[in-house]
Structure 1
Amino acid sequence: MLCPAPVAAPSSLWSARRAFLLAAGAGAVAPAIAQVDVGSSSTLRKLIPAETLERSAAQQYQQMMEQARSQRALAPDNHPQLQRLRAIAQRLIPFTAPWNDRVGQWRWEVNLIGSKQINAFCMPGGKIAFYTGILDQLKLTDDEAAMIMGHEMAHALREHARERLAKTQATNIGLRLGSQLLGLGDLGNAAASLGGQLLTLQFSRSDESDADLVGLELAARGGYDPEASVSLWKKMGNATGNKQGGLAFLSTHPSGPARIEQLQLNVPKVQKLYEAARKRG
């Protein structure tokens, strides 16, 4: 599944990654009023301990990166496409704090995996990965790549995976939402053991709409053209599956006229944020 990629020297790998992490964590931004309307996050997610899920996600992410490295498919820090993605992340991360009060504890990572797969994700805790297929086959501009990254970051910020797992496990264990603390320990254990399901979770239409709008605002605040959200999903809608490439991203993020229409309606709401960001440089 994974395509070969050159391996960087350990010293340069560490220094570049350390520089990215330091830059990503620097420059706190004062909370700003959201321009898009997504409502509050579901309280159901609290049935799953955030720390446990983030720790499980970090472990799974590390395993995936090690597997990619062993197959010479993990892009080195000097890879142009990876540098491009990390530059985008550095512009978006400072605007994530208002969406989740745990962001200050996250250790953001961005990596690139050589694969024809059209896919990208952000795990709980800020663990981001893109596949080269989504960049190359869709010929994404920086603005369009920022929309994908913002969308995936929004899933993590709004804790959609945490909510999905809570619903699944609450049903499996037979809990009632009105019960007291019965079963919460079981749910915590489930969060630790179900980390492997994080990339196969099926988000609801509401989750997808939520992530579209939050991602749109994050990207606009970072200085990326909100109109790119429309062109991106048009590209997604026009993408055709083939045995070599696969459309893993579209299997969990279906495109359609309703999605594009919603984005078109919300682009004007964040246009001034984009223009202000461009003026700041």
Structure 2
Amino acid sequence: MDLPGLRAIDVHVHVEQDDHGHLSLDGELMEASEAYFRGSENRTPTVADLAARYRSSGMAAVIFTVDATTAMGHPALSSEEIAAEAAEHADVLIPFGSVDPHQGAEAVERARRLVIDHGVRGFKFHPSVQAFDPSDSRYYPLWQAIEELAVPALFHTGQNGIGAGLPGGRGIKLRYSNPILLDDVAADFPHLTVILAHPSVPWQAEAISMATHKANVFIDLSGWRPKYFPPELIQAANGLLRTKVMFGTDYPLITPERWLTDFELLPIDADKHERILKLTAAGVLGLS
């Protein structure tokens, strides 16, 4: 990957459909999330779609799905297939894997295979959609394995567009995405890089505190247009956390162009832009 030639690294991009036409979520949840985010140019991009889209924009992207097979009862997209396809577009795509934490020892072994045999560069988890408390010690063997594999773990935090507006939010519980639950994980596995995805509304202060306190905790800025960022997050990105926050969109829910246009208008010093847009991510991903 030609890091100097890249405009930015988007650390949060979803693969929503595989080459067989299987979707990452069932129809009701897909429609609810699209309504919450007010749509996008292509709601169900494949790996090939993402490669073409980011290559044309002069950017790289971290891509993944979420394996919530147990909680959702919906078969997940294959992280193995995503990794194989991403390898064909290694100039712009960086694959993360996802495993179902409820699968216990099988999830641990699969995580190892995904890194060693399939070349994934990290893992994505969504505690609310996967219906688990990441601070529960029953999941510690998984965090230990990922720490030993020396790749980052990216966790959804804060508000959730999946299930939004549906009765009971389709049973999806927001409390699992309180970032403070990950403070135990970051403390107990100090060599595990923990990335808190999204402005963690309504728990933004907790996320900032964790990223300030722990060297192994970072924040990605995806899932919200920057013009809606909480003021305390903007202040932190421009100061204390200038080396701890990273560009991310949540594409296809938010386009990188829309995100970058908003970002240029934030009161963040210009000399910090390159670090936020790609340099911190390059370090976290082992690209520099």
Q: TM-score category by the smaller chain? A: under 0.3
**Counting helix residues as a fraction of each chain, which structure ranks higher?**
1
TM-score by length of 1: 0.25
**Counting strand residues as a fraction of each chain, which structure ranks higher?**
2
Higher relative contact order (CA 8 A, sep 6+): 1
Highest CA radius of gyration, 1 or 2? 1
